[in-house]
Chains A and B, each alone.
Chain A
């Protein structure tokens, strides 16, 4: 087993641990926003670890370099798209009036929206 294969295996394990933490967060967190945060962040990182780890692992096992190229492309695509989709989902959730967890203390976005609508009313 070469060093590259070892690195790849470690990355895949690292990623799967983050997948597990992400699922755990999905069950444990109190409201949509907290859940979304854990799910997005750790699932993205976990996926990057697993995907790139697979590419490096394959090269370590003596397969062609095309594996790493493909996995890198998929990783970059995921890295770019996952935060955008999370952003859109969260924004949609807030706009459709899903309440924050009762333990949260500050809602600056609501204040901002109220301020904006008041200013609009005065004009």
Chain B
């Protein structure tokens, strides 16, 4: 009881301290320094309508590469922690007919929607990470509805690795063509799609990188689900 009260008091003090710090930050006023530059130049410098994805992939591409690396390490870490020689799904209770049929029907729709999200990253909200997570949700649904369902493990890991390599390769091509890593060569050297900003074939390398990231995140999270659902089988 005393511990809880002390914790509540400490949290209240920290909260008051943070609120004091934020009290002088103005709301609704134009205080943008870098943000203004992004908003004014995003269309002619990157070709994307969605400023967030343009910042994430184009202006701050290293961060995204780092995030992808973090996810890859998480997936590898889960795989290493749960590594056993013989592993199987030990679930016994079969889902009801309604559930299995519904999941089977919904699976392609969710996949399609996930792909829609990451292909249209430069036009609509979303991008590679939400799209990939949606695709992983489709696999999770199949895992939850069927006791025997399994993703092709080897192929998924290979796809994941190749997608990660593809990202770095696009960046290295930028290094070769434009002089620095993750240089947007499709937009700034080839001028591909400069006339149709706001349509599907624009946005420089943002759609390509987001397709790669979407595939990578989708396969990665599915792999984590797969790893966590399997249990050790004793001979």
Interface residues of B in 84-115 (CB under 8 A from A): 93, 95-96, 98-99, 102-103, 105-106, 109
Tell me, yes or no, whether A81 is within 8 Å of chain B by CB: yes
Number of A residues whose C-beta is below 8 Å from B? Answer: 8
Task: A95 to B92: give the CA distance in the assembly, Å.
Answer: 14
Chain B binding surface SS class: helix
* Distance from B213 Cβ to chain A, minimum over Cβ atoms (Å): 24
* Number of inter-chain CB pairs below 8 Å: 21
Instruction: Find out whether the CB atom of B96 lies under 8 angstroms from the CB atom of A88.
Output: yes
B residues less than 8 Å from A95 (CB atoms): 93
Task: A84 to B104: give the CA distance in the assembly, Å.
Answer: 12
* Distance from A95 Cβ to chain B, minimum over Cβ atoms (Å): 8
Task: A92 to B108: give the CA distance in the assembly, Å.
Answer: 25
Task: A81 to B95: give the CA distance in the assembly, Å.
Answer: 16
Task: A80 to B109: give the CA distance in the assembly, Å.
Answer: 11
Tell me, yes or no, whether A87 is within 8 Å of chain B by CB: yes
Q: Find the A residue at minimum CB distance from B101.
A: A84
Instruction: Find out whether the CB atom of B99 lies under 8 angstroms from the CB atom of A87.
Output: yes
Contact with B along A83-99 (1 / 0, CB 8 A): 01001100100010000
A residues less than 8 Å from B109 (CB atoms): 77
Residue from the list B93, B95, B96, B105 in contact with A80, Cβ < 8 A = B105
* Distance from A61 Cβ to chain B, minimum over Cβ atoms (Å): 21
Contact with A along B102-144 (1 / 0, CB 8 A): 1101100100000000000000000000000000000000000
* Distance from A80 Cβ to chain B, minimum over Cβ atoms (Å): 7
Instruction: Find out whether the CB atom of A80 lies under 8 angstroms from the CB atom of B98.
Output: no
* Distance from B61 Cβ to chain A, minimum over Cβ atoms (Å): 31
Instruction: Find out whether the CB atom of A87 lies under 8 angstroms from the CB atom of B106.
Output: no
Task: A87 to B145: give the CA distance in the assembly, Å.
Answer: 13
Instruction: Find out whether the CB atom of A91 lies under 8 angstroms from the CB atom of B96.
Output: yes
Q: Which residues of B contact A (CB under 8 A)?
A: 93, 95-96, 98-99, 102-103, 105-106, 109
Q: Which residues of A contact B (CB under 8 A)?
A: 77, 80-81, 84, 87-88, 91, 95
